[in-house]
Amino acid sequence: MKRLLAQPVPAFIISVGLILVTAYAVSHFPRSIVAFMLFQASILVLYFARMPGWVKGALAAATLGVLMPLLGSINGYYLEIAIQVGIFVALALGLNIVVGLAGLLDLGYVAFFAVGAYTWAVFGSPQANLFLPGEHFPLAQGWFFLFLLVGVGMAAGAGILLGLPVLRLHGDYLAIVTLGFGEVIRVLANNLDKPINFTNGPKGITPISRPPIFFAPVLRAIGIDPDPNVIYPLYLYFIVLAIVGLTVLVNRRMEDSHIGRAWEAIREDQTAAQAMGVPLVRSKLLAFACGASFAGTVGVLFSAKQVFINPESFTFMESIGVLAMVILGGMGSIPGAILGATVVTVLNLQVLKGLSLWLNELRNAGTTIFGWSLQNLPTQLEPAKYERMVFGLILVLMMIFRPQGILPARRRHRELTDGAGEPH
């Protein structure tokens, strides 16, 4: 298979064949988790296939832009998974800049996600009427697109605020401070309901406006009823797809720029980088700001998608989950961050929850195994309740058997496999 994927024509045939066969399987077995996971795996095969870049790009665009929405129209749950994967891919790519490229361990990354989410939630709902004069809120739905940029600015500002006091820290001390920052944001969101009600505290904020369906007149003109229940999942999917595409493009451009090389130099040896003229303060602040800005954007989108947010959406475990995605895929690697986010999200939303549902079905049906009834199985043993333990095991196994991640950056891979960088 590896040899075939290394040749353009067989690689094209195999990739297209796998994508079409798995898409056909999903369309005929819409409740089959295995079929949908095989469809996702076929996209990974496309990544490894050796073929001209424009061919691979066209196939990826057709798969994600045409096939995926079609499959989502058959089973809306798959579209929900695709949206969640896209949100976590953008988060993982943002954290990949801070942790993977600049080598700054950030355990409070979800705080920037929360800043973006609350930015739109407060002004895109009646919440702002509680502390601003007049009844001007919620803002019109069209403001959503402007707030995608406002979320970038707010989160980048928060990133700089965090970066300023931790410029001299690294390693464990930096991790502790960023962890504290993440908790400070969550506690603020939990308690800023008095004396002035900014965030509505633990009750959360709802209803939050969704982006406007500005193309509704066009749909009506061609005879399609723009039912929000049908349109919004597809609409949000394409917005997520656009944000992920933009995030990948910015990551790629920054990775190859002198800024990206400065971050890598800081990651490898901060003292040597400073001696070679790399501006430490500016580079670190830029890393925090860039990484945070992606989280701010998807935070705005997340609040609009969920319609409701509260502080429990932004706990420390969310930061750990995103960090696990970066480590699993390979720190400093853009394809690795994408793959890590996809694997962890699918494992969480599909595999573990699917196993729990399957066990419940067997329990309700009174199935017995070797004379022991599954009705006696305690509900505490459902796989979905052990997702964090599973992620922890994955991280431990990765550190032992493949510390460079599934799809490591080329430089990192060479260092860990060939011993490059060691003195001879």
Q: What does the pLDDT look like over 74-115, one tens digit per residue?
A: 888 888 999 999 999 999 999 999 998 888 888 889 999 999
351, pLDDT greater than 70: yes
pLDDT band at 122 (very low <50, low <70, confident <90, very high): very high
> C-alpha distances in angstroms, 239 versus 83, 90, 149, 209?
9, 12, 14, 15
| Of the listed ranges 151-160, 282-291, 372-381, the one predicted with least confidence | 372-381
Which range, 8-12, 147-151, 323-327, 329-333, has the best average confidence (pLDDT)? 147-151
Q: What does the pLDDT look like over 23-50, one tens digit per residue?
A: 998 888 877 778 888 888 888 888 888 8
Q: Are 375 and 363 in contact (CB under 8 A)?
A: yes
Q: Give residue 84's pLDDT.
A: 93
Long-range Cβ contact pairs of 265-274 (< 8 A, separation 24 or more):
266/102, 266/103, 267/101, 267/102, 267/103, 267/332, 268/103, 270/170
Q: Give residue 145's pLDDT.
A: 94
Long-range Cβ contact pairs of 101-104 (< 8 A, separation 24 or more):
101/255, 101/260, 101/263, 101/264, 101/267, 101/287, 101/332, 102/263, 102/266, 102/267, 102/283, 102/284, 102/287, 103/170, 103/263, 103/266, 103/267, 103/268, 104/170, 104/174, 104/284, 104/287, 104/288
Q: What is the mean pLDDT of the chain?
A: 87
In b/e form, how buried is each residue of 180-203, taking b as 16+ CB within 10 angstroms? ebbbebbeebbebeeeeebbbbee
Nearest to 142 by CA among 70, 192, 74, 215: 215
Express as a percent the part of the chain with pLDDT over 70. Answer: 96
DSSP state of 205: B
Q: Are 126 and 150 in contact (CB under 8 A)?
A: no
Q: Give residue 125's pLDDT.
A: 93
Give one DSSP letter per residue of 163-196, joined into a string: HGGGTT--THHHHHHHHHHHHHHHHHHHHTTSSS
For the whole model, what pTM was predicted?
0.90
- Taking the C-alpha atoms of residue 325 and residue 176, their distance in angstroms, rounded to an integer, is 20
| Of the listed ranges 127-136, 341-350, 357-366, the one predicted with least confidence | 357-366
Residue with tokens 């009844």: 135
Residue with tokens 């890393």: 287
143, pLDDT greater than 80: yes
Q: Give residue 377's pLDDT.
A: 76
8, pLDDT greater than 70: yes
Q: Give residue 93's pLDDT.
A: 93
Coil, strand or helix at 106: coil
